[in-house]
Amino acid sequence: MVDFSGIIGDDFLKELGLVKGTRKVVNHEERGKVLRALDGRNYKLSAGGSLSNTLVALARLGVASSHNSAQNVAMTGSVGSDALGDFYRTKLLRANVHFLSQPVVGGTTGTVIVLTTPDAQRTMLSYQGMSSIVNFDSVLADAIAKSRVLVVEGYLWEINQTIEAIAQACETARQQGVLVALTASDVSCVTRHRQQFWDVMCQSSDILFANADEARALCALGNDCTPEQATKHLNQFCSLVSVTDGARGSYIGLRGEVFFIPPAPCVPVDTCGAGDAYAAGILYGLLRGMPDVRGMGDLAARVAAVVVGQQGARLKEEAALELAESVNSFSDALDNRITVLMGMKDEVKSQKTSNV
């Protein structure tokens, strides 16, 4: 999806009949009305999406690595044959994320319009466009077969027509010995689709990414359940569980043992994208064969802290260089298999580098 981000006043929302601080799915006509109203105002365009944030960070860490075998990251997903689709593909390519799929002829690219008022409240309007189309085809099947990890984004459960694609992708991964990672994505999404999340986690997943609220919702053990308890509980069903808890740190559960990862110091500027960055750090550590769980968690916390301490949800190249240079433990057992990251907005491939 392409993000439109603009600073507006309360009068702008009132004129369009929008309720401040809410999230709303809009159709093509409603999107056009808002974009026309934004015409002439200052706003920013970016190739958005939770997983694309993770992938850009992963790609930049790979490029910055001094290791002989850099990670190649690519994406396959649905965008329209419009100017926004071209923009999305171009922006990712410039970030060293190759887009493999052809645009849908006659289709429109999904967008998220983020309207921020002076009191820092964000009103979000989502138009799915082609991003709601995730098909399991021979291209995806072949990519998974050549992969090390398949990451399934939790937002996929919000789209009924993707449920079968998820099942087929996970089944193919299991048949090919490919690890499956699941991202919880959003607490409301977990609450609405808990049983489906639980089934995939128990039957197919090797890795789970969640924040504390998402982990509690998935455990269904009540609000008194601590992040550490949630991590330990979920780790009974999933080999590696990562649970973030904001400025309080994070937890990694690995085969029954829970490790606390203290937060990396930073002056917070914008928390948007922190979890995406943390996931990139974990994936980078796994793919690079970091043998120490605490070291991998520390790297993930530092990647997240860098993003929290800047404007924007994307890890910048210069920051990636500094982070990658600080990592001294890599696996020498590298090969050319591929990691596929699959989400509502995109499916992503990057180079496989090691076993977990």
Span 150-174, pLDDT tens digits: 888 888 888 777 888 889 999 999 9
On whether residue 157 sits in a domain, the answer given is yes
On whether residue 120 sits in a domain, the answer given is no
**What does the pLDDT read at residue 262?**
98
CB-based contact 145:35 (threshold 8 Å): no
**What does the pLDDT read at residue 217?**
95
In tens digits, the chain (356 residues) has pLDDT values of 898 988 899 999 999 999 998 888 899 999 999 999 999 888 888 888 888 888 899 889 988 765 545 567 777 778 899 999 999 999 999 998 878 778 889 999 999 898 988 887 888 898 988 877 777 888 888 888 887 888 888 888 887 778 888 899 999 999 999 889 899 988 888 999 999 999 999 999 999 999 999 999 999 988 899 999 999 999 999 999 999 999 999 999 998 999 999 999 998 877 888 999 999 999 999 888 887 899 999 999 999 999 999 878 889 999 998 898 877 544 433 333 444 444 433 333 334 432 33
Output the CA torsion 22→194→347→338 (10° steps): 140
On whether residue 109 sits in a domain, the answer given is no
On whether residue 8 sits in a domain, the answer given is no
On whether residue 206 sits in a domain, the answer given is yes
DSSP letter for 105, please.
T
Tens-place pLDDT, residues 115-136 = 988 887 888 898 988 877 777 8
On whether residue 290 sits in a domain, the answer given is yes
Please tell me whether residue 212 adopts helix, strand or coil conformation: helix
On whether residue 253 sits in a domain, the answer given is yes
Q: What is the CATH number of the domain that holds 288?
A: 3.40.1190.20
Pairing of strands 338-342, 347-351: antiparallel
Question: Which residues span the domain enclosing 295?
Answer: 50-77+134-351
Please state, in angstroms and rounded to a whole number, the distance separating the CA atoms of residues 346 and 78.
7
Single pTM value for the model: 0.84
On whether residue 87 sits in a domain, the answer given is no
Please tell me whether residue 246 adopts helix, strand or coil conformation: helix
Please state, in angstroms and rounded to a whole number, the distance separating the CA atoms of residues 247 and 263.
6
**Centroid of chain to Cα 58:** 11
**Domain tally, the chain:** 1
The token duo for 158 is 């919000």
